[in-house]
């Protein structure tokens, strides 16, 4: 007897997961504590998650910035104990670019109760806001028309 094979051409709808709309803010990596400690932890987590050698990350950051970034600098920026060494903003941007750790951007936005979304979703969000505004205007217009009819 021949065993029937499964259909590998049809997508299983139960396996589908929606695309990630909001950039993960890295809150798990940041944890609790002072802002300095949170930043050090998210940098450390980003370096671990990149699975790249830190010397390669430092080299690529040097290329990105046009100034030297050493592996020792990376180590200090990722260390909660190195309180006198915090990452400059341009180096933070280079780290995001080199490691692809976009959750670092999400971490910054989260400090202000904001979210980071990929640019491709910006128009959809604006469209939704316009549609909401159109409904509000239509509701207000209908209320004024009803009021005006009652007053005649």
96 domain residue, yes or no: yes
Total domains in the fold of the chain: 2
Instruction: Please state, in angstroms and rounded to a whole number, the distance separating the CA atoms of residues 110 and 91.
Output: 20
What is the pLDDT of the chain when averaged over all its residues? Answer: 87
131 domain residue, yes or no: yes
0.85 surpassed by pTM: no
80 domain residue, yes or no: yes
Same domain, 85 and 142: no
Same domain, 58 and 110: yes
Range of the domain at 142: 118-152
Confidence at residue 14, expressed as pLDDT on a 0 to 100 scale: 73
Same domain, 103 and 87: yes
Residue % of the chain over a pLDDT of 70? 84
| Interior/surface letters 44-75, b for 16+ CB within 10 angstroms, e for the rest | bbbbeebeeebeebbbbbbebbeeebeeebbb
- Per-residue pLDDT for 10 more than 80? no
78 domain residue, yes or no: yes
């Amino acid at each position: 007897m021949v065993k029937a094979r499964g259909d590998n051409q049809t997508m299983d709808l139960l396996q589908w997961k929606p695309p990630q709309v909001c950039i993960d803010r890295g809150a798990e990596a940041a944890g609790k504590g002072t802002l300095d400690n949170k930043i050090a932890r998210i940098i450390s987590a980003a370096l671990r998650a990149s699975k790249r050698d830190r010397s390669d990350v430092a080299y690529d950051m040097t290329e990105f910035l046009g100034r030297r970034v050493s592996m020792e600098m990376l180590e200090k920026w990722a260390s909660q104990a190195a309180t006198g060494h915090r990452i400059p903003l341009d180096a933070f941007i280079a780290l995001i670019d080199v490691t692809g750790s976009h959750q670092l951007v999400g971490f910054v936005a989260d400090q202000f109760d904001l979210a980071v979304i990929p640019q491709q979703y910006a128009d959809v969000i604006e469209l939704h806001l316009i549609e909401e505004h159109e409904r509000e205007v239509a509701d207000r217009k209908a209320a004024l028309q009803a009021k005006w009819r009652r007053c005649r």
